[in-house]
Structure 1
C-alpha cells in the first residue's frame, strides 16, 4: 500500500495525516521548514464550532444552520454553498475530535465580529493555535516512533514538483536539506497554506493585489503560495485558482514602537476586541463598531489614517485585559502593549484631555446598558464598565495582510478540480491553500476550523483512494 503524501506541516496537514492513520493508511508528511506548525501555531482567537458540548454547557444556543447563515452573509456574492456546508456541518465534530483525541482544552467560548452567537472556542491557557497544533504535532511524532512505521515526518523537505501518470497525480519530487532531489509515490494532499508573505515582484500578491504590496504582513516567511504554483503547473489537467484577489487585511496588527517599520508584524487577536477593547482615533474618540466584520473595520481604519486622524490605538480596561490575561501578558512582554496605571496617564500619553477620553468610555457604557443606541451600530458589548483609576493597556495598531481567501478550486470532498470541474485523480487539498470557502471575507475563528475540517476530509479520501 502506497503512503499518502501530505505536503505542509501546519494544522491542516497534521489533521490530514492523523485522518489517514485513523482510516488505516500510511502517511509521509513533508514540510520545507526545519519545524512544523506554519501559521497555525500563531492563530490567537480560537476555532469555531456550532452545536458543541462547550456551548451546551454554557447554555449557548447555536446550530450549524446559524453558522452557515453567518458565513454565507460574510462571504457575500462569492459564497459557495457546498463548501460552506462542509465547513459548518463538520464544525462540532471537528471540536469534538480535537478535545477527545488530542486532549485540547476548548472549554471557553467567545463571540467575534460577524457572528451572531458565541461560537469561537479556546482554552484557558495560551494561544489556541499553538495549543491545538502542538497537540497534533506531539501525537504524530509518537506515531512515527511506533514499530508499525505507518507515519513519517520529513522536515527541510521542499516539494518542487508533482508527479503524474497521464492525468493522475502519482507522487511528489522534493529537495532535501542537502539539495538532493527525492521522489515519493502515493496520493497527494496539498496543505501548504496561503500566500500572505509572497511579496516578490512577480509573486502572487503582486499579480493579484498589487495595491497591498506595501502593507506589512503577519504571515511567516514560508507563506509564499507553493501549493498554488505546484497545482497550477501540472503538465495535464492542472488545477484552477479562484478568488485570488480576495485577500483579507486584518485590521489589527501591532506596531512595535521599537521597530515601527518592520514588514512582519505580530497580530493583535480579534479576541481583544471581543472582550471589550476599543479602537480610538488620535483624539481619543471611537470611529467604528469594534465587533464588525474584518473588512468593514479595516476600511474604517484606512479612512481614519488617510484623513490624518491616526494613529489608531487599541485600548483595554482591566476587566477585558484580565479575561485575556495570557494573551496580554505575552504582548506586554514583547513591548507591543503598554500598561498605564489609570486613564489620566493614558490621556497624557495620547496628548488628549482626560475629560474627552473619559467621555468616550462613558458614552460606550451608556450604549452597552441600552440607555442610548451606539451610532456605529454596536450591539455586542463586553466589559464596558470602566473605572478611571484602574489599569489600562494600550497598543498602536495598523492593518496587515492576514489571510488569503483565494486559492485552489476544490469540491466539498477536498478533491482538487480542473478547469472543467472534474476531480484530478490522486490530488487533494486542504487549509488556506484552497479557495472559495470564505468568499469575500473570512470570519474570525474559521481558519483553524477550515484547516481541521478539510484536512480531515482530504486525509480520509486520500487514504481510501487506493
Structure 2
C-alpha cells in the first residue's frame, strides 16, 4: 500500500511525537543533592538579610544559607546604633550633618588605610539606607546620639529594644513571609562552585549530607573572624598578640567567608587590622569567660565615665575606640585596674532599656550613692568624690578637662546620687580586614578585577574602615553593602 507524501509526513511526525512522549513518561534519574536557585546569600546576619530583601525587591529568587540554627549573627548584639548623615531624624532634632562631614570623620578614623571609594559608598548611601529600614520595615530610628570620633550626632536608634536586635529581627520576620525567599539553617557552606571563570553556586553540608546548589550569583555575608581562636586560625595568623584577649563575637565568626573567597584567589586586605573595643563587661559570676558581652559605646555616648581602681579618670571617654582602648591597656599594665564604667541617673534614664538589661544580667550594678559604690568595690571614696567634683567643673565649663574632653552629655555627677557601675575590659570586637570588594560590592581578584558572579557584604569585607571603625558604622556597613551586593547580583547574567 503506497502512502502519499502528506501521509508519509504525518506518519513520521506521529512517530517522533510518540517517541518523545514515551521518553517523557519514563522515570528520570534525579540527583537529590543538586538543586537550582537564582541567587544564593551565605550568612543570615544584617548584611545577608539586607542583600536578600534587596534581591527580592529587584524580582529575584533567593536562597539564604546560614551555618547556625538561627539567623541574626553578631548584628543582633549591636547596641549603640546605626550611623546616617543628613537623615530625617537629624533634621527633626535640629542636627546639621552632611555626607562630607561623615566622610571626613570616617577618613580621619581610617588613617593611612583610608580608601575613598569604599568610604564614599558607605557615607553617601547612609541616609537612604536608614530611610529604607524605616519605610520598608517600620523600624524606629528617631533618636540620635554622638559617639566617639564623630563631629556631630549621627548614630540612630529607637525607643524600644537595642538597635541591632530591633533592625535585624524586623528583617528576619519579614523575610519569613516572602515566597521568593528560601532559608536553610544549620547549612555550612564549604565550597564555591565555578565554571569558565565564573562563580556558579555553592556546596554546603547539613545533617551529614552534602548538597550542591547552582545559582546566578553568590553573595558572601558570613561576618568576621574575631572568634577564630584556633591554633591555625586567622587571629593566630594575623594577630597572635590578641589571642589572650576575650571576644564579644559569637562562635560563628571564624572567617568562613574569607576562606571561601580565597579559594578562588580573591584578594584579602588589611587582615591585621582588628578592632579591640575598650569596654566589654566582666561578669562577676564568670570573670575569666572568653566570650564577653559588649558594653555598648552608647553608654559613653550618654555620659559614662571610666575610672581606675583609685577612682580617677584617665582618658577622654568620647575619644575614638582605639585611643580609649590604648589608655585602658596602659592603666591595666600599670596595675591600676580594674577599670569601672560609671553612669548617673540622667544617663540611666536616657538609655533605660540597655541599663535594665545589663542589670538583669548581673553585668551592671545600681548603687544609691558614691559611698555605697566605694564600700562595695574598694575604690577610695574621697578620691572618687574629688573625681566627680572635677568632672562637674569640666562639664560646666568652669575648668578645661585635662584629657581634652569637650562633649559632656549628662555630665553632672552628684556623690549623693544614683550610680550604675560595671567592670569593663578591652575585648576583640571587629575585624576591619577582609575580602577586597569594589564600591559595588563585587569581589576582586588578586589582580584587582571583579570575580564574575561573586559579591560580599558586611564585616566579611575589608577596607571600609581602614585602621579603626567608628561606632555605629558596623550596622551601616551591613545595610549599605548588603543592598549594594543585592542590587548588583540581581543584574548578574
TM-score (normalised: structure 2): 0.92
Listed as ranges, the matches of 1:421-436 within 5 Å are 421-436=448-463
Select which of 184, 190, 212 maps to 1:160. Answer: 190
> Are 1:229 and 2:247 counterparts?
no
Listed as ranges, the matches of 1:257-406 within 5 Å are 257-406=284-433
Match of 2:221 in 1: 191
Unaligned runs of 5+ in 1: 145-149
Deviation per CA, 1:191-223: give whole Å up to 9, x if none: 000001000000000000000011100000000
CA contact (8 A) 1:79 1:439 kept: yes
Select which of 201, 204, 214 maps to 1:174. Answer: 204
Superposed displacement of residue 365, structure 1: 1.3
Deviation per CA, 1:336-385: give whole Å up to 9, x if none: 01111111111212324433211111111111111111100101111111
CA contact (8 A) 1:199 1:206 kept: yes
Task: Work out the CA distance in 1 between the residues paired with 2:361 and 2:214.
Answer: 42
> Are 1:109 and 2:170 counterparts?
no
Superposed displacement of residue 186, structure 1: 2.7
- Aligned-residue RMSD, C-alpha: 1.0
Superposed displacement of residue 25, structure 1: 1.0
CA contact (8 A) 1:284 1:350 kept: no
Select which of 276, 287, 294 maps to 1:249. Answer: 276
Superposed displacement of residue 461, structure 1: 0.5
Deviation per CA, 1:140-159: give whole Å up to 9, x if none: 00003xxxxx2111111110
Task: Work out the CA distance in 2 between the residues paired with 1:424 and 1:183.
Answer: 19
Superposed displacement of residue 2, structure 1: 4.8
Task: Work out the CA distance in 2 between the residues paired with 1:185 and 1:319.
Answer: 53
CA contact (8 A) 2:303 2:411 kept: yes
CA contact (8 A) 2:432 2:463 kept: yes
> Are 1:35 and 2:62 counterparts?
no
Task: Work out the CA distance in 2 between the residues paired with 1:78 and 1:111.
Answer: 24
> Are 1:90 and 2:117 counterparts?
no
Deviation per CA, 1:93-145: give whole Å up to 9, x if none: 0100000000000000000000010000000011100000000000100003x
| Pairs aligned (count) | 458
CA contact (8 A) 2:37 2:63 kept: no
Match of 2:242 in 1: 212
Give secondary structure in 2 for the equivalent of 1:142.
coil
> Are 1:70 and 2:100 counterparts?
no
Deviates more, 1:333-342 or 1:197-206: 333-342
Deviates more, 1:285-294 or 1:177-186: 177-186
Listed as ranges, the matches of 1:433-452 within 5 Å are 433-452=460-479
Give secondary structure in 1 for the equivalent of 2:387.
helix
Task: Work out the CA distance in 2 between the residues paired with 1:219 and 1:167.
Answer: 34
Give secondary structure in 2 for the equivalent of 1:316.
strand
Give secondary structure in 2 for the equivalent of 1:143.
coil
Task: Work out the CA distance in 1 between the residues paired with 2:405 and 2:377.
Answer: 24
Give secondary structure in 1 for the equivalent of 2:424.
strand
CA contact (8 A) 1:64 1:88 kept: yes
Unaligned runs of 5+ in 2: 1-35
Superposed displacement of residue 57, structure 1: 0.2
Task: Work out the CA distance in 2 between the residues paired with 1:127 and 1:309.
Answer: 32
Deviates more, 1:12-21 or 1:180-189: 180-189
Match of 1:129 in 2: 164
CA contact (8 A) 1:176 1:182 kept: no
Match of 1:46 in 2: 81
CA contact (8 A) 1:175 1:182 kept: no
Deviates more, 1:182-191 or 1:21-30: 182-191
Greater C-alpha Rg: 2
